A and B are shown apart, each in its own frame.
Chain A
Amino acid sequence: MNGAAALLKALERQGVDTVFGHPGGAIMPVYDALYDSPIRHILVRHEQAGAHAADAYYRASGRVGVCFATSGPGATNLITGLATAQMDSSALVAITGNVALPLIGTDAFQEADIYGITSPVTKHNYLIKRVEDIPRVIAEAFHIASTGRPGPVVVDIPKDIQLAAFGGSFETTIDLPGYKPTLKGHARQIRLAAEAIRAAERPVMMVGGGSQSSSAEVHAFAAATGIPVITTLMGIGAYPAGAEQALGMPGMHGTVTANRAITHCDLILGAGLRFDDRVTGKLSRFAPKAKVVHIDIDPAEISKLVTAHVPVVGDLKDVLPRLQEELGTLDIREWWDTLTDWKGRYPERYKKDKPLVSQEVISMLREATGGECIVTTEVGQHQMFAARLFPTSKPRTFITSGGLGTMGFGLPSAIGAAFARPGEQVICIAGDGSVQMNIQELATIYKHQLPIIIAICNNGTLGMVRQWQEMFHSQRYSEIHLADSNPDFAKLAEAYGIDGYNVFDRDEAKRLIPEVLGKGKPAVINFVVYESEKVFPMIPAGAGIDEMIIGDQEEEKVEVKA
């Protein structure tokens, strides 16, 4: 057995059955060993897509995603995928080949300092220098990636180590004296949190990506306490947007109700979120009247941006039930009267008197699926529309690049989700700009006949950039026009052997969506939509959360008695 075979065996021992990757010179021994391995390898057409697919594999299933890439350009192509996973705390183990140890540092063919380049965008990384270390490093990599605050780990293996005879043991112990995530919340902090929440008259709970793995605890907590729940982009699905206690998404393109609730609440219970700038807007205007109770597994997130009056470090699975026990039902009827009034006055709506709009397309998709599917998105206007109009109601079913905002994430992440949860319908909501960033993966979808529908909201322009140029750059539309050179997306899909449709009006859309869904085959539906649709409400960059532009509805002054 050589190092490469030992690697695959070590991966098997971690329960890995699927790997996304692309071969190349410095990882050839691993691909040779793969020939005899039960591990299924999904050949992607670009390493970035492999990283995104592995990332989404974790997001959809909670099982660590794995991707392979060769040295140099193969590894550098992973960077965007690693950074995306790091920002959204996704458990991913990337294995890279490298040039042989004696060649490292000599500017050898296809050599790059993978360890150095990936350090800033990973939770941890390794360069293996002894073949016997392979089982231990793999065990540690999976442990680090999947525990505490999850994140990507890179394991770089020089080619001579892959080829070296392996005489070591697979029985390894993880020895990481510097890594001991705090899972159990401190009893005193939980008591202080309960006191603060009980004293509040207008509390809100905000849940983020950290709640995806503790959805049941969030549900139970909300039901027992009656607290209003705001769900960030990363938290979508962990608590259903349609629930009575749900106020929707906060932040730059959040709902009026959620943002207003933040401005007027007297307590925020943040659970598994990091108060990112797209959520808070200008920090000095964020929740000015609120005490903040912040529960997170990562102590570094507490008081990083929003000062926590009561910090609780721990796993939501441990902390929420204990907090719930101390609290019981909250008496917040007056606050609910106000919130219900806001919710009633600002429902999700959009104008239909124009040509087909993205919002309508996305709503139709939700209706046709009954929300029973996995949604992945690219990045841009359609992403925000999807978050608002197609928020799924189960955890791990809304997969989107939140922190890094990676265009090109949606299509490969649909592939990862489809492999993680076979048999489930996956819908990738895309824009005509971002879908082209990893469009080559149509080949992967075709090859495996994955049940993925790629719904392109094609407005012929980089819509989100256009919106900013229209609103904040005096309509000086710079380098956003795509329509003049977009491909015929239906023909493009067909060229890959996938059903392709171009849709120009709402009747056609209404008829076609259920029909295509019924086929259970991969498909690309290109919806030609209105060019100058905008995402509202919007908080301009750098403005306060109380300075929303609501669009066609006039924002009114609200007074909430304190």
Chain B
Amino acid sequence: MSTRKHVLSVTVRDQPGVLYRIAGLIARRGYNIESLAVAQTETPGFSRTNFVLTSDDETVEQVQKQMQKLIDVIKVVNHAEAPHVDRELMLIKVRVSEPDARVELRQIAQDFRARIVDVHRDALVFEVTGDAGKMNAFIEQMREYGIVELTRTGSVALTRTGAESSPNRKPARAA
């Protein structure tokens, strides 16, 4: 079975313990998630959890169905099924060992449309947004300068307007 990247958006009621339920379900059914991001939505009382997993379509379908069974889950959208935008945010602290490096780093940052959010004699902190591919490319570029530390939010996604998939997909592949 072929695997691919899936970004799932799970809209949940903002109840205590709801993240616990989702994380617990993922853990006990043995699904492997790459990232998880959770925050409030446009509607008070509802949160949206975005998570990324690389898996075959059958497994992801089962994840979706199990998620949907949770009482506090309102809807589950798999963005891999429709055109969508996904972004994540990374903060990355890079060592500045020599003056030349500072100039080079500024240039690379410009190319990636990254912002410098903290400046120190020995290090710079960049803020980068984009998809996972862009994050990885930026990290590669920074390696030779020396990455002190980095942190990423994980992907968040929205389906493009006019391409919304049904919140409750047909439960199984019909014959």
Contact = CB atoms under 8 A, between A and B. Distances in A.
Contacts of B97: none
A62 B122 CA distance: 71
B24 interface: yes
Interface residues of B, number: 27
A304 B13 contact: no
Interface string B68-79: 111111110000
B1 interface: no
Interface stretch (B86-94, B104-112, B128-136, B166-174): B166-174
Given A116-B20, A119-B21, A124 B172 contact: no
B17 A115 contact: yes
A300 B13 contact: no
A192 B65 CA distance: 22
Contact of B174 (A116, A124, A310): A310
Nearest to A180: B168
Interface string A159-196: 00000000000000000111100000000010010001
A467 B17 CA distance: 44
Contact of B175 (A124, A177, A310): A310
B175 A313 contact: no
Interface in A98-124: 115-116, 119-120, 123-124
Contacts of A300: 62, 65-66, 68-69, 171
B28 to A, nearest CB: 6
Nearest to B58: A303
A178 B171 contact: no
Contacts of B61: 303
B7 interface: no
B30 interface: no
A39 interface: no
Interface in B23-79: 24, 28, 58, 61-62, 65-66, 68-75
B74 A178 contact: yes
Interface in A265-315: 291, 294, 298-300, 302-304, 307-311, 313
Which among B28, B62, B69, B70 has the highest number of chain A CB atoms within 10 Å? B69
A119 B17 contact: yes
B99 interface: no
A144 interface: yes
Looking at B20, B171, B175, which has the most chain A CB atoms within 10 Å of its CB? Answer: B171
Contacts of A124: 71
Nearest to A129: B16
A127 interface: yes
Given A178-B13, A178-B73, A178-B74, A302 B172 contact: yes
Nearest to B64: A300
Contact of A177 (B69, B70, B74): B74
B156 interface: no
Given A120-B24, A303-B172, A127 B68 contact: no
Nearest to B70: A178
Nearest to A193: B175
A304 B171 CA distance: 10
B125 interface: no
Contacts of B74: 177-178
14 contacts: A115-B17, A119-B24, A178-B13, A178-B71, A178-B72, A178-B74, A178-B75, A192-B175, A299-B172, A300-B62, A300-B65, A303-B58, A307-B173, A311-B170
Given A178-B74, A291-B175, A300-B65, 14 more contacts: A115-B17, A119-B24, A120-B28, A178-B12, A178-B71, A178-B73, A189-B174, A192-B175, A196-B175, A300-B69, A303-B172, A303-B173, A309-B175, A311-B171
Which 6 A-B pairs have CB atoms at the shortest separation, nearest pair first?
A299-B171, A300-B65, A309-B175, A311-B172, A303-B172, A124-B71
Interface of B: 12-13, 16-17, 20-21, 24, 28, 58, 61-62, 65-66, 68-75, 170-175
Interface of A: 115-116, 119-120, 123-124, 127, 144, 176-179, 189, 192, 196, 291, 294, 298-300, 302-304, 307-311, 313
